[in-house]
Structure 1
Amino acid sequence: MNALIDTLIYALSLYWWIIIASAIFSWLYAFNVVNSRNQFVSNIGNVLYRLTEPALRPIRRFMPDLGGVDISPIIVLLIIFFLQRFLDSTVRDILTGF
């Protein structure tokens, strides 16, 4: 059972980095640091968008308008952090019998 918990924690860590990469890419794209007409750059942006949008969209739906500032990635990162700690401490302790 420890292997399953470790795999879930690793998957959450991987998604953590995907969200950070998506946020950085969106800044680079917004400030025209990357060439948006380049096919490779466009494909990277599309992949990052498709990977992160299912997690970010429900949070954006409930967030108030902050005038162009999107804090939904920060909220998702906090949720991932909580899930990692919950899996590592509480669930592992319950399954191993303290």
Structure 2
Amino acid sequence: MITPIFVLDSPRSGTTVIGEYIGSADAVFNTTEYTGFYFTELIAPELLATIPSPIKDQYIESLRSHAYEFISDQTRKRSRNISTFQTPNHKPKSVNKSVISL
């Protein structure tokens, strides 16, 4: 099992430095600012909020599962059992929904 360590805070608060420090340990895979969780928890749901699809929620859950499985696989490939994720909260005030084309 992979043990995640999340380093979260406001921009310019030292999340990258702390994550790099923790990630320098031999047992830890430092993902730097991996945005998979950020995207699946904040961006994708907002982008898809207005789309009237009966499978939208299942799709978002699939994205979340993929983000976790991807980073777990990458961590195992490096023979590590801990991953760090440092992500300052850079959530935009609104997401540009025009990037979705149907």
Same fold (TM over 0.5): no
The two structures have a TM-score, normalised by structure 2, of 0.30
| Structure number having the greater helix percentage | 1
Which of the pair has the greater relative contact order for Cα pairs under 8 Å at 6+ separation? 2
| Structure number having the greater strand percentage | 2
The two structures have a TM-score, normalised by structure 1, of 0.31
- Which structure would you say has the larger Rg? 1
